[in-house]
Amino acid sequence: MERVKIGLIGFGTVGSGFYSLMEKNGIRFKEKLGVNIELAKIAEIEPDKVLSAFPNQKVVQNFKEIIEDPDIPIVIELVGGIDTAYEIIKSALLKGKHVITANKALLALHGDELFRLAREKRVKLKFEASVCGGIPIIKVVRESLIGNRVERISGIMNGTANYILTRMTEEQMGFQEALREAQSRGFAERDPSLDVEGGDSAHKISLLASFSFGQWIDYRKVLCEGITTVTPEEIEFASSSGFIFKLIASAELINGRPAVTVFPALLPKEHPLASVRNESNAVFISSDFAGPSLYLGRGAGGNATASSVASDLGDLVQRIVLKTKGDIAQIETSNRSELYPYQDISYRYFFHFITENRPGIWAAVTGLLAENGINIESVHQKWEDRSKPSNLYVLVDPAEEKKAKKALNEIVSSQGISESSRFYRIIQP
């Protein structure tokens, strides 16, 4: 029977999850593919982390011992972070090794260079585990939907943010308390600003959109807003109007150009993504022949993410050992177009004005909305304590982002209206 050696670099949450998976289910590669996978070496800067649990395992401290080993054709990078992970992946590709990674931040930043290098070296850089943990969504867009044109992807791609919004909605919890809970449950990034300010979702949607639309999308150009401004009062008002707050990452082609955004959106309660709770992730894809399809699951965690690493390993084994032909090409990173300008996208909006209590405030708000051609659907003033500013909520008909932004800027320049007034976008199914 064929034997394939692999090297694992990094033994943190995902690395140890992958180890457990191979111990328990490694036999499945033998049964299904007729190949013995041998975990030849693990590189870990703290070898005791591995050896205390698995004393017979071959552990090295320096990842170069895996990169330099000619008998290891597949390297699994699970160290996270940017600098060392970049060095690992680049040097492995240069040595002609296939690489599997879960590192979305690194791929979003250096993916164009690394995918190009992989193509030049005729090896694969696989990354299923980097987008939505255990949901096999890269395989879906690259393989399962190959006969379709993907028109729109929208999803909840950050478990931490979804957990926080769920707890704020269902338990009337404050943002900080909900964040602490999420961190203690172990799915937040080391730097949670990536979770709550939308950066992690921007990394994931730009990778997914790049593969779906066949062109490299720079995550730094994506409209990216997080959930840090959302208050329990806004959530309560949205709920009483039939909406639920979710951090939505989305991508669609408008006039042939990708429009890619991340922001806290209001979803009608009947939207398929509205019922996705806690740390779950979900991706909703519209494509021309399959129509709408929804993928739901665990977006983080050692075991779920390890499942996607194993999926990539299965693909590589089929390719290099069984020499299956017809592998789907990797992303063409030199193919780029300007993103569709998000300022031209139209949404319904939920404005939240924080205002003084005096005559003329409503007149300023409604007058400036009208001057910008924005049609009001409903107005609600939430005002419990006369000594405090009032909360004026205004729902409006669809308007272009640039008009909504201009109206907001003009309104907050009016006397008596706070600069922290804001709007949220409403996403229809």
**To the nearest whole angstrom, how small is the minimum distance from the Cβ of residue 334 to ligand HSE?**
27
Active-site hit among 139, 204, 221, 403? 204
Task: Say whether residue 308 binds ligand HSE (CB under 6 A).
Answer: no
Task: Say whether residue 195 binds ligand HSE (CB under 6 A).
Answer: yes
What type of residue sits at position 55?
Answer: P
Task: Say whether residue 216 binds ligand HSE (CB under 6 A).
Answer: no
**To the nearest whole angstrom, how small is the minimum distance from the Cβ of residue 140 to ligand HSE?**
17
Report the b/e string of 382-420 with b at 16+ CB within 10 A. eeeeeeebbbbbbbbeebbbebbebbbebbbebeebeee
Near ligand HSE by CB under 6 A: residue from 189, 218, 332, 410: 189
Task: Say whether residue 188 binds ligand HSE (CB under 6 A).
Answer: yes
Task: Say whether residue 234 binds ligand HSE (CB under 6 A).
Answer: no
User: Phi/psi at 258 (nearest 5 deg)?
Assistant: -75, 130
Beta carbons within 8 Å of 299's beta carbon, 6+ residues apart: 132, 133, 134, 135, 156, 157, 158, 159, 187, 279, 280, 281
The mark string for 130-159 relative to ligand HSE (x by CB under 6 A, - otherwise) is: ----------------------------xx
Task: Say whether residue 127 binds ligand HSE (CB under 6 A).
Answer: no
- Give the separation between CA 414 and CA 429, rounded to whole angstroms: 35
Task: Say whether residue 181 binds ligand HSE (CB under 6 A).
Answer: no
**To the nearest whole angstrom, how small is the minimum distance from the Cβ of residue 330 to ligand HSE?**
21
- Give the separation between CA 343 and CA 139, rounded to whole angstroms: 32
Strand boundaries in 269-384, DSSP class E: 280-287, 291-298, 346-355, 376-382
**To the nearest whole angstrom, how small is the minimum distance from the Cβ of residue 301 to ligand HSE?**
8
Radius of gyration of the chain (CA): 24
Report the b/e string of 233-266 with b at 16+ CB within 10 A. ebbebbeebebbbbbbbbbbbeeeebbbbbbbbb
Q: Is 204 among the catalytic positions? A: yes
**Considering beta carbons, is residue 158 or 355 the nearer one to ligand HSE?**
158
**To the nearest whole angstrom, how small is the minimum distance from the Cβ of residue 226 to ligand HSE?**
12
**Considering beta carbons, is residue 117 or 196 the nearer one to ligand HSE?**
196
Task: Say whether residue 13 binds ligand HSE (CB under 6 A).
Answer: no
Using CA atoms in the order 304, 282, 161, 110, what is the torsion angle rounded to 10 degrees?
Answer: 70
Quick one: DSSP state of residue 128? G
Task: Say whether residue 16 binds ligand HSE (CB under 6 A).
Answer: no
Near ligand HSE by CB under 6 A: residue from 127, 187, 237, 340: 187
**Considering beta carbons, is residue 186 or 242 the nearer one to ligand HSE?**
186
Task: Say whether residue 299 binds ligand HSE (CB under 6 A).
Answer: yes
User: Phi/psi at 376 (nearest 5 deg)?
Assistant: -80, 135
**To the nearest whole angstrom, how small is the minimum distance from the Cβ of residue 136 to ligand HSE?**
15
- Give the separation between CA 266 and CA 245, rounded to whole angstroms: 5
Number of residues that bind ligand HSE (CB under 6 A): 10
Interacting residues with ligand HSE (CB under 6 A): 158-160, 187-189, 195, 200, 299-300
Question: Catalytic residue positions?
Answer: 204
